[in-house]
Amino acid sequence: MNVVAIVTVAHHASDGESALTPVHGEALLTHTVRGLLDVPEIDLVLVVAPQRCASSYSEAVRGLGCRVVPGPLRQAFAAVEPELSRDSVVLLHDALRAFIPAQTVRDVIAAVRDGAPVVVPVLPMADTVKLTDAASRVVGTEDRTRLRTLQTPVGYTLGAFLEADLTAAVPAGAATVPGHADAMRVTTDFELSLAEAIAAAPKNEEAL
């Protein structure tokens, strides 16, 4: 097995239920898993389910050909680790980023295969970022030309993944590839309306 994509909801306690939010008639999680399975380079999609959501997750992805493993991320990964080779790529993907384009995922995989231990898709910061003091007064403007917002999947070599602190931010020195606006976390009503539009749009098969 060369590429395994791990879908997780590790950010907030409520993300477990949020992944089951219906979008265009199916759970957000269903869209997430199906999108990853449509990337030819991915050999396995592993869904890490909170214990309380395990049965609901299994139902949401029934028939999609992925694996659902309840419990902590490291415990779930241990279930598939023996099947991986030394040169395997591990993708860690937020379940609430359901509409990441296939090409972005492929770019992450390619960058890891080209030698980067850790790779993350990013977008330039569009908003002006202000610095404030302890009294919340504006004291300066941050140069946004070097600021980026992070997306997922984060790509790892197998060795880098085994050594990573998965509770922390992406480590300094991680390589980047261009992200995509469609890969937003679907957490607000506005983002849900965007997700509905994306899910309803005709699929561009050539993008795969």
Q: Report the CATH number at residue 187.
A: 3.90.550.10
SS3 31: helix
* Unique residue bearing structure tokens 């028939």: 63
**What pLDDT is recorded for position 207?**
46
Q: In terms of residue numbers, what domain contains 165?
A: 3-207
Q: List residues bridging with 22 in a β-sheet.
A: 27
- Measured CA to CA, the distance from residue 149 to residue 180 in angstroms comes to 11
How many domains, the chain?
A: 1
Kindly tell me if the per-residue pLDDT of 205 is higher than 60: no
**pTM check: above 0.85:** yes
- 103-160 confidence digits (pLDDT tens): 999 999 999 999 999 999 999 988 888 889 999 999 988 888 888 999 999 999 999 9
- Measured CA to CA, the distance from residue 23 to residue 61 in angstroms comes to 14
- Rg, Å, the chain Cα set: 18
Closest CA to 6 of 32, 38, 28: 32
